[in-house]
Amino acid sequence: MRKLDLTRRSFLKLTAAAGAVAALSAGATGQALAETDAPAASAAGEVKRVRSCCRACGKNECGVYVYVQNGRAVKVEGDADTAFHSMGNSCSKSQASMQAAYHPDRNYYPMKRTNPKGDADPGWTRITWDEAYSTIAAKFQELKDQYGGECMFFMGGTSRIWTQHAYGGWLQLVGSPNAVTAWQICKGPRHYATQLQSEFAYSWMATTDRPRVFVQWGTATEISNYDESCRATVDIANTADTYISIDPRRTNLNHEADVWAHLTPGTDGALGLAWAQVIIENNLYKDLFVKRWTTAPFLIAPDMEPSGADLESGIAWEPLLPMRTRIVKECDLVEGGNPMRYMVWDELAGTDEAHPLHGNDATGHLTYFDASTGLWEGEPDEVWDQFYENPQPNLPELTVPGRIAEDSPFNPEIDPALYGQFETVLADGKTYTMRPAWDIWVEYLQDFTPEKVADICGLPADAIRDMAMLWATPIDPATGYGNGGIQYGLAPEHACNSIQNNRIFDTLVGITGNWDTPAGNRGPSCGRFSGAEDAQPTIVTGHFADLADAGFHDKILGHEKIPMLSWWQQWADCNAVLDAALEGTPYPIRGGLCEASGILNQANSNKYWEALCALDFFVVQDLWKTPSAGAADLILPVYHWMEVDCPRISQGSTGAQGATCRAVEPPAECRFDIDIVTDVYKAMGVPYADDPVSFGLPEGCVWPTSEQLFDKVVAPMGMTWAEYKEAFQEHGWWDCREIAPETWGTYRRYETGMCSMEYLVTPAGNPMKGMSTPTRKMEIWSPALETYMPEGKYNLPTWEPAPRTAIADPSIVDEWPFLMTTGRRIPVYFHSEHRQLPWCRELWPAPRVEINPADAEKLGISQGDWVWIESPNGKIRQTADIYYGIQPGVINTEHQWWFPELDQADGGLGLSSINCLVDPDLQDPICGSSYLRAYNVKVYKATAENSPFGNPCPCGDDGTPIICDSSDPRLKKWLPTYDEAVRNAK
């Protein structure tokens, strides 16, 4: 078998083929493989250049140009003219987009199943769109009438915005609370944690500001196009004064790091707490921020009965949210007191016995912060208007600096205590001892000193201390803020500590002056259109309010095991939905629909497949016949990104606003996802917008077209969608700091009342300062977690070892000796996508497991050998990649592999998909994210004797081996087709 590593010669030829404007000659099938020289350019047909936003990876907004000749896309290249955020990047996935758009196996027509689920041949038969819509409408109504709307669930995929109706539109159509989204295990925990603690999605780091100290934690954006583009990440690493990489394995980029921390997989939270301990011990935290903008000084009475109020959520379809906490409030001190007034101990003021809240200690007294007004006791309600210009060095060309709000002082001056014990008599007549939340957390942190964490993380104590000091010590104190935020990725979300790990990161960023500051963690970009409607409205007006009245949120699957889902309300637990499909408890799941999603991303893949096959009715809309589609009753064909019109704004903090613009016409009978969902609403007789005018649509427009929805989205720009597209072609990408100076062009928006969530609720006047939490503070002590998980172990940012590791259970290594991490990015793939694109599959034909040479030698494994990887839940095969960049005793596997070349319904998902090893019942206790990495397994060589069909290489059900060699002739069957007659014959 040929080595899996492609030669430099082949890669350069691939690049040349991808870069030729006329790589696809008119009227003939293009030669797609790297070995094939590009044909000469055709003289016929003018080449048109369309500015757009690439969606080949689904997670970024790289600015690109699509070149079109004779109506056909012939080249994709980066927009280096205006795309300041992606800097002209165009990765291999982007350049291979032509092979996806013109792929012979693409879905072109609605299809229905005629053979039983599980058959190798589903018997797909072409039907009309009218038949597809009427079938969906009839089956959805039948299931709703028989079981209730909650018997259906809806799957959403890789954040392409136009395929996000599983987060809103589909749920509301049938009255179901059960969204099953990749969001639950893919950046969703970060968004969940920061909404819980500070502001929604403030996990994103403002990379276009170029941090002075670049901390890359559990992510590799230089190859993944996640949060920003490849080239931008390399530029950040090169311009930073210090580059710190925290990753169990060596990567191409962290070879250049000033500090590489190869921590033990799954111990991210412990290392983060060690950083916090070092920062606090060395007084490197911003005292004013901690006291003024966090719950750190709020007084906790551990022996007090929790008390509080039911709070308005601020969102029309959500019910009142309860809050019961041991934070001392005015209502705990005096009968009839305000439950939104949180008490602190002011160390500056003397005793004022006339004040009903003040104690008798001569060195201070109680005062309060009023979350209902956003003001401290006696503080005037004034607009903060003190700013200075952003002095951040190394800003990329084409960006504007923006302005920074000055730190506001306490007025009147107070000094909330962070340490100490204070006694007071509460309204029940009893005396209680109170402590600031900070004091309690600092005491907890003594179990996470560098010396104690060294054994947990496998890093020297001095190295832990030095990293924390490097990051937290300001290089230029005159700026008034820190060295930059933390770019943290998926890895910390997958070892049963998702929410707490992300709370630790959010706290670190906040207390060091890197929260909503230049190069800090800022959250989703705010342009001239923002929030859930940044590309198209998935929320249908009116319907959610009706569902809330019907007890909608009490039915979310999984909330009994994971109580915080009742607070979060954004997804049902995937594993609980699978249980309901297989076992019918607590109620049956009988139907569903999937938009651009898959079954390889969470829970256990084999269980997921079994559950989909058990459904009475399942619909998939996608480009391909994926493993999800293998369980479908209907398949609906959709647009490729080069065929789509859609407004775009940076999901993260890169601050770019633009558009995806149609470059080529959609083929055959493919339709836009947005129009599909609206058409199904119409087929069921349900208005998509029951009050169009208040929804920003023309009167009577109850089933809007995508263009009408986009008119609504871009209306704040003073344009129609058609005008906006034209302006984008001429102007290019807009810097949100320039076009939205009050929201994105201003840093420290908590000082001005312009944090993202609050701005959307109160876009004018004097919105309340602070964060969008019940306390209006960064909640280092979380009232929500205290309310829903009253055992108290998650009130503060804490950490516990992942359950199936030697840290939690030392005996586990006796049978399962290797600690496994997984999920690393592959440059040519995005999660499960692109395995059928010849350019991509040629470069990376088969899944690999990285193993240290010493471990490989002990096991008799050589480079390229197929090996078994086994857990108590299953076993799969991948090829050995012997690599010094992984520590002995640790392996790194690849995720979401399936094999489009196999002629079977499940796409061979059980052969190499690492999630077949997952224990579905082990999850993060707060959000339910799956236990996807940092668990122990065994590894052994695959041989003819221990392999099905006597072949170590994985084979399909009929014995057909997978493609695992770049010279496999089957790759040529996936060369693009441009002939309409060929598509019509499918």
Percent of the chain with pLDDT over 90: 77
- Whether the predicted pLDDT of 279 surpasses 90: yes
The whole-number pLDDT of residue 364 equals 79
The whole-number pLDDT of residue 319 equals 56
Which residues, including other chains, have CB under 8 Å from residue 159's CB and lie 6 or more apart? 58, 59, 182, 183, 651
Section 544-571 average pLDDT:
83
Neighbours of 440 (CB within 10 A): 17
The whole-number pLDDT of residue 21 equals 31
Do residues 161 and 534 lie in contact, with contact meaning Cβ atoms separated by under 8 Å? yes
The reply to whether omega before 586 is within 30° of 0 (cis) is yes
The whole-number pLDDT of residue 15 equals 34
Alpha-carbon 756 to chain mean position? 18
**Six-digit token pair at 82?**
């205006």
pLDDT band at 986 (very low <50, low <70, confident <90, very high): low
The whole-number pLDDT of residue 119 equals 84
Average pLDDT, the chain: 89
The whole-number pLDDT of residue 529 equals 83
The whole-number pLDDT of residue 318 equals 52
- Whether the predicted pLDDT of 7 surpasses 70: no
93 catalytically annotated: yes
Distance, in Å, from the CA atom of 622 to the CA atom of 694, rounded to the nearest integer, reads: 32
Distance, in Å, from the CA atom of 153 to the CA atom of 179, rounded to the nearest integer, reads: 6
SS3 of 681-738: the string is HHHHCCCCCCCCCCCCCCCCCCCCCHHHHHHHHHHHHCCCHHHHHHHHHHHCCEEHHH
Q: What is the DSSP string of 290-327?
A: HHHHBSTTSEE-TTSPPB--EEP-SSTTS--EE--B-B
Which residues, including other chains, have CB under 8 Å from residue 405's CB and lie 6 or more apart? 384, 386, 387, 746, 747, 748, 749, 751, 752
Distance, in Å, from the CA atom of 478 to the CA atom of 189, rounded to the nearest integer, reads: 35
Tens digit of pLDDT for each residue in 881-928?
A: 999 999 999 999 999 999 999 999 999 999 999 999 999 999 999 999
- Whether the predicted pLDDT of 678 surpasses 50: yes
Burial tier of 68 (Cβ tally within 10 Å: 0-12, 13-18, 19+): buried
The whole-number pLDDT of residue 164 equals 81
pLDDT band at 628 (very low <50, low <70, confident <90, very high): very high
Q: In the chain, what is the straight-line distance between the N-terminal and C-terminal CA atoms, in Å? A: 34
H helix runs in 495-573, sequence order:
498-511, 543-549, 565-568
Range with the lowest mean pLDDT among 259-263, 291-295, 596-600? 596-600
Tens digit of pLDDT for each residue in 404-447?
A: 999 999 999 999 999 999 999 999 999 999 999 999 999 999 99
The whole-number pLDDT of residue 2 equals 28
Q: What angle do CA 37, 39, 41 make, to 5 degrees?
A: 140
Neighbours of 308 (CB within 10 A): 20
The whole-number pLDDT of residue 18 equals 33
- Whether the predicted pLDDT of 13 surpasses 90: no
Neighbours of 549 (CB within 10 A): 10
Do residues 297 and 760 lie in contact, with contact meaning Cβ atoms separated by under 8 Å? no
Cα→Cα distances 668→104, 111, 679, 755, Å: 12, 13, 18, 45
Tens digit of pLDDT for each residue in 64-108?
A: 999 999 999 999 999 999 999 999 999 999 999 999 999 999 999
3-state class of 236 per DSSP?
helix
Tens digit of pLDDT for each residue in 862-873?
A: 999 999 999 999
Which residues, including other chains, have CB under 8 Å from residue 650's CB and lie 6 or more apart? 61, 85, 524, 525, 656, 657, 736
Range with the lowest mean pLDDT among 39-43, 480-484, 885-889? 39-43
Higher pLDDT among residues 441 and 13, named by residue: 441
The whole-number pLDDT of residue 898 equals 98
Do residues 405 and 746 lie in contact, with contact meaning Cβ atoms separated by under 8 Å? yes
Cα→Cα distances 11→230, 253, 831, 966, Å: 17, 19, 22, 12
Section 226-245 average pLDDT:
89
Section 682-696 average pLDDT:
90
Range with the lowest mean pLDDT among 198-202, 505-509, 539-543, 695-699? 539-543
Section 327-351 average pLDDT:
91
Distance, in Å, from the CA atom of 630 to the CA atom of 726, rounded to the nearest integer, reads: 40
Q: What is the DSSP string of 816-866?
A: --EEEEE----TT-BTTBTTT-HHHHHHS-S-EEEE-HHHHHHHT--TT-E
Distance, in Å, from the CA atom of 393 to the CA atom of 71, rounded to the nearest integer, reads: 44
Pick the catalytic residue from 75, 93, 607, 625: 93
Percent of the chain with pLDDT over 70: 88
- Whether the predicted pLDDT of 227 surpasses 80: no
Cα→Cα distances 808→268, 452, 578, 934, Å: 15, 15, 28, 11
Which residues, including other chains, have CB under 8 Å from residue 671's CB and lie 6 or more apart? 129, 636, 637, 638, 639
Do residues 49 and 67 lie in contact, with contact meaning Cβ atoms separated by under 8 Å? yes
Which residues, including other chains, have CB under 8 Å from residue 414's CB and lie 6 or more apart? 344, 346, 348, 349, 367, 376
The reply to whether omega before 474 is within 30° of 0 (cis) is no
The whole-number pLDDT of residue 157 equals 81
pLDDT band at 853 (very low <50, low <70, confident <90, very high): very high
Which of 558, 538, 543, 548 is closest to 318 using CA atoms? 548
Residue with tokens 């493993």: 627
pTM of the predicted structure, to 2 decimals: 0.94
Q: Which of 25-39, 352-366, 386-400, 446-460 has the highest mean pLDDT?
A: 446-460
The whole-number pLDDT of residue 734 equals 96
pLDDT band at 167 (very low <50, low <70, confident <90, very high): confident
Which of 726, 672, 728 is closest to 704 using CA atoms? 672
Distance, in Å, from the CA atom of 520 to the CA atom of 286, rounded to the nearest integer, reads: 14
